[in-house]
Amino acid sequence: MQELFITMDIMLPLLLMLLLGVVLRKIGWMPEGIVPGMNQLVFRAFLPMLVFNSIRSLDVSASPGLEMTLFITLSIIGVFTVAQLLMPRFFPDPRKSSVMVQGVFRSNFAVLGFGLMSAMYGASGEAAVSLALPIVTLLNNVLAVVAFSRGEKINPLKMLRQVLTNPLIIAAALGVVFLLTGWQLPHVVDEVCLDVGGLASPVSLLVLGASLKWQGVKDNKRELAVTLVIKQLILPAVMVTLAALLGMRQEALGVIVILFGAPGAVSSYPMAVAMGADGTLAASQLVMTTICSMGTLFALIYVGKVLCLL
């Protein structure tokens, strides 16, 4: 019973922040027109600052290391490869199959990762997310372009530019420089950086809640059912079990739980629209995976606590 209350204590604040975002949009205090701008602010300022803060203050000796990062890299590439091969066979329309591939392998790791890991482990949890985030961001950016190319020629220079100019990648690189050199920011600047980074989790959850729309759910029942079963049932069960069998525990396993239990990425919808894919299906995926992920994450964290793995 104690584990149940611990899990509820971790999950309820996150769920309430999401619901608050929905309510604020409904009553007009967070109009739909400002949501894209706030989303950009989160991903270009708040989250990068949180990543920078976490990495530059990292305790390397106490942080999950090579095993976790290697598992993340191989698992994301593996999931993407299987999805890229199989989805077009069952869903021939490339506008839909490309969205489904993205829906399966990409997750809202950055938004939920910091909030959940901070609730479970404090600063060491945020540090574990910061270590994993550059790898997840890099793979997501590259593989999403491949998924939406639909057989067209890919421009490697353009892809490289997108990766190198990604704010999260830049923030991680700067954090590593400060960590390795031992550089310190002036006290006033340091306080500002900490305050800005502290906005990342609450604001990103509010924005995610305000972004959710029911548009197109009824028109894509088959596609959504397949995506949900794979993303919210099969992948979390298989990947978390595999990680646990490989010996991952505490922060390292927590990162895997969130990576594969989290909903689809917020950026998946605008990217699908920009790449000429089925934007309605992408929006529906975001809504349904967000709702279902609350149950998935609750179950994974509860079982992990009961088995003393998390």
What integer pLDDT is reported at residue 256 of this predicted model?
94
Number of domains observed in the structure of the chain: 1
Is 240 inside a domain boundary?
Answer: yes
Query: What are the tens digits of pLDDT across the range 173-191?
Result: 898 899 888 889 999 999 9
Is 218 inside a domain boundary?
Answer: yes
Is 139 inside a domain boundary?
Answer: yes
pTM of the model: 0.83
Is 28 inside a domain boundary?
Answer: no
Is 151 inside a domain boundary?
Answer: yes
Q: Are 285 and 99 in contact (CB under 8 A)?
A: yes
Tokens linked to 155: 């421009």
In degrees to the nearest 10, what's the CA dihedral of 253, 259, 260, 266? Answer: 160
Cα–Cα distance measured from residue 272 to residue 192, given in angstroms and rounded to the nearest whole number: 35
Is 310 inside a domain boundary?
Answer: no
Is residue 130 over pLDDT 90?
no
* pLDDT confidence band for 221 (50 / 70 / 90): confident
Q: Residue 210: how many CB atoms within 10 A of its CB?
A: 24
Is residue 229 over pLDDT 90?
yes
* pLDDT confidence band for 150 (50 / 70 / 90): low
What integer pLDDT is reported at residue 281 of this predicted model?
86
Is residue 230 over pLDDT 90?
yes
Domain that holds residue 61: 2-23+35-304
CATH at residue 239: 1.20.1530.20
Is 246 inside a domain boundary?
Answer: yes
Cα–Cα distance measured from residue 140 to residue 163, given in angstroms and rounded to the nearest whole number: 10
Query: What are the tens digits of pLDDT across the range 272-293?
Result: 777 778 878 888 888 888 888 8
* pLDDT confidence band for 154 (50 / 70 / 90): low
Q: Are 256 and 239 in contact (CB under 8 A)?
A: yes
Over residues 234-259, the mean pLDDT reads 92
Rounded to an integer, what is the distance from CA 117 to the centroid of its chain? 12
* Alpha helices, H only, the chain: 2-26, 35-41, 47-56, 66-90, 94-105, 109-121, 123-149, 156-164, 167-181, 187-198, 200-211, 221-229, 235-245, 250-261, 268-274, 279-306
211 or 244, which is more confident?
244
